[in-house]
Amino acid sequence: MFHLPTADHKARSLIGDLASLAETLNPANALRLPSIGNARMKAFAGFEADKAIRRICYVIIRADTGERWLISFGRKGGWRKEWNFGAGAA
């Protein structure tokens, strides 16, 4: 079971569609989640494609813990953990 932010938490607005999030967090899809390095490269590509974007969010998997994090990247390469969904243990 993964931990979701409460309805009034700012991370909830960053998540978007809960059905898509459920698919993303599905343990069968764990190998499809990017590492923080891969997500950073994707974010840089997104910033180059659209100069108006200020932050880009990704759900990543931590290789050391198996936790899924919602992180956001800024245009200068800095990142911030917005939410920790946990590792999905029962």
DSSP secondary structure string, the chain? Answer: ------TTSHHHHHH--HHHHHHHH-GGGGGGSPPHHHHHHHHHHHHHH-TT--EEEEEEE-TTT--EEEEEEETTS-EEEEEEEE----
- Whole-model pTM: value is 0.91
Q: What is the pLDDT of residue 16?
A: 86
What is the tens place of the pLDDT at every residue in 15-41?
988 999 999 999 999 999 999 999 999
